Amino acid sequence: MRIGIACYPTYGGSGVVATELGIELAKRGHEIHVISYAMPFRLAGYRERVFYHEMEISNYPLFKYPPFTLSAACKMIDIAETHRLDVMHVHYAVPWAVCAHLAREVIHEGPSRLKIVTTLHGTDITLVGSEPQFFKMTKYGIERSDAVTAVSVYLRQATQETFGVACPIDVLHNFVDANRFQPRSAATAARRRYLAPNGEKLMIHVSNFRPVKNIPDVVKTFALVRKELPCRLLMVGEGPELPGARSLAQQLGVDQDVLFLGRQLAVEELLACSDLFVLPSQFESFGLSALEAMSCGLPVIATEIGGLQEVVTPCDDGWLCPVGDCRCMAAHALAVLRDDDRREAMGRAARKKAVERFSPELIVPKYEKVYERVLNAVR
């Protein structure tokens, strides 16, 4: 199949999933055309059957603001016609699904028309889509798609409740490459000694540092743990909450033990060095960063919200606490970090779950079946 994938390129779950899906589909023999306004950060390097097409957004003086939607639709038209795409798989209902529908209307109608698959990732439903001004457009984008998928049962239910859509929604969980995201090895020992020179335990957080990630609670939780146990915190990523996190670490007197590492392409190398992953988000439709940590053999301390409850199993591979309850998170973190046998057992359980339930070999064929279904269907 010839498949177009439209996504945001930024440091976040939807862009990661879209990019990794394209890579896995290419491995299975499909021709993949990725469309975005910048190179997705996990698409670096040459890959057979994967092509990247960058949008050009006009700055013509007539427009007060750059016409993103029109630029995206025009690029979709160009790529769909030039490469005779079978399916356009868009990640986010707004604006990508709407852009795809516009492109399809321009190209042609009939049985051979371009098929549209829309994957919902979370904030397109709970934040952007629920805005009154975007409500009808988001619902239109969803209902006019030939197939719709959501990354968790929670997100499917939230979509149905928020928009009252009648179309079926397939739940296809996110996946992780367990060969890339592996537990600690001899190769990571030297790196760990550098990050924790005095044998401290290592906590880690990875995100795009948006308000929804509840970044202050990462620092607060770490400060509570640091009072009781020699420990360091790795903060991986960048975003608007980063300056506040630095300031808070100074206020709490833990700034010498908090390492702000910025964006990292090889985040798996830092995860493999660490002992515990912390994710105190206000909302998570799935929690891909938590799954990647679990694949590296890390227990996860997270919040009891959204799709995280489909990823983390309390007492088995991590713990879930109420949003904002830093003392709960710190207590569980201390219990795990103080008991190496317990931490290692939870890490093994986390790795086992990642491999057995969230592997590309299990999830990607489900996407292929969705594509085949829409291509064989008569609308």
* pLDDT band (50, 70, 90) for residue 11: low
Q: Is 138 exposed, middle or buried (0-12, 13-18, 19+ CB in 10 A)?
A: buried
DSSP-based three-state secondary structure for 132: helix
Q: What is the mean pLDDT of residues 214-237?
A: 97
CATH fold of the domain at 186-357: Rossmann fold (3.40.50)
Is residue 106 within 8 Å of 73, Cβ to Cβ?
yes
Residue 318: alpha-carbon gap to chain centroid? 19
Looking at the predicted structure, is the pLDDT value of residue 12 above 80? no
Q: Which residues are 232's β-sheet partners? A: 202
What sign results for the dihedral spanned by CA atoms 106, 110, 112, 117?
positive
**Given this chain, do its domains 2-175+359-376 and 186-357 carry the same CATH topology?**
yes
Is residue 122 very low, low, confident or very high in pLDDT (cuts 50, 70, 90)? confident
**Mean pLDDT confidence for 167-176:** 96
Per-residue pLDDT tens over the stretch 284-323: 999 999 999 999 999 999 999 999 999 999 999 999 999 9
CA distance 261 to 268: 13
How far is residue 189's CA from residue 199's CA, in Å, rounded to a whole number?
Answer: 11
Query: What's the pLDDT at 186?
Result: 67
pLDDT score, position 308:
96
Over residues 78-111, the pLDDT tens digits come to 999 999 999 999 998 888 999 999 999 998 765 5
At the fourth CATH level, which superfamily is domain 2-175+359-376?
Answer: Glycogen Phosphorylase B; (3.40.50.2000)
- Amino acid identity at 128: V
* Residues in a beta bridge with 170: 149
pLDDT of residue 127: 65
pLDDT score, position 109: 61
Helix (H, G, I), strand (E, B) or coil at 318: strand
Token look-up 């025009």 returns: 74
Distance CA 218, CA 330 (A): 10
Ramachandran category for residue 7: left, alpha or beta (phi over 0 → left; psi -120 to 50 → alpha): beta
Where along the chain do its domains lie?
2-175+359-376, 186-357
Confidence of residue 265 (pLDDT cuts 50, 70, 90): confident
pLDDT surpassing 90 at residue 43: no
The residue among 356, 236, 288, 283 whose CA lies nearest residue 126 is 283
